[in-house]
Homo-oligomer: A and B are copies of this chain.
Amino acid sequence: MKLNQKGLLIVLSGPSGVGKATVRKALFKSPDHKFAYSVSMTTRRPRVGEVDGVDYLFVTEEEFEQRIKDGKLLEFTRFVGNYYGTPLDQVQKLINRGAEVVLEIEVEGAMQVKAKMPDAVLIFIAPPSYDALKKRLLNRGTESEEVILERLEKAHRELTLAAGYDYIVINDDVDNAADRIKAIIRAEHARCRRSLNGYLRLLEETDHE
């Protein structure tokens, strides 16, 4: 029985290196869910093999800034000279269709989402320890030690933002984390503020025939 007719916006966020993408992928493999994915918008140039509308929506800087002015972005950030963001209309369309939309975004972006869509479910993916986070960043082997130190300091600051989230899920084990997120999704569907109206409608339909 589906009481919540409106779908769910699930925001996965957390410090860089915590394994957000891995958790999101494990979640998407789940056979009992059909998550919708929202394609991000960027001003960065497409890399070889990237398809517009699939990997990203590629737009010009002017187009992106116009969207910011018009309030047509659910969240956005600027990173290494390029804009990245989530188009609001796309997400709203999916939610109204009853879809479970998962966004995997940076910590600041998540706070913007909460402000624009207070019904969103914000999940902070946290490292089991600073050491674990450091190891993960080192294992990537793509960043210099200086950059890694910078990221650790940023992680420290970001942890203080976790208080604005609804849930905290430690990524001690990817499948475990994905399972916990599925429990959260199941629980959120049962929230009275989402489902009570749907339930009362159901009662009317079944009993006044």
Residues of A in contact with B (beta carbons under 8 Å apart): 1, 3, 124, 126, 128-131, 159, 162-163, 165-170, 172, 180, 182-184, 186-188, 190-192, 195-196, 199-200, 202-203, 206-207
From B159, B163, B192, B207, contact of A168 by CB (8 A) = B192
27 A-B contacts (beta carbon < 8 Å) = A1-B170, A124-B192, A126-B199, A128-B206, A129-B202, A129-B206, A130-B206, A131-B206, A131-B207, A162-B196, A162-B199, A163-B196, A165-B192, A166-B191, A166-B192, A167-B187, A167-B191, A168-B191, A168-B192, A169-B190, A183-B183, A183-B186, A184-B187, A184-B190, A186-B187, A187-B187, A187-B188
Residues of B contacting A186 in the complex (Cβ-Cβ under 8 angstroms) = 180, 183-184, 187
Complex-state Cα separation, A166 to B205, whole angstroms = 24
Secondary structure call for the A interface = helix
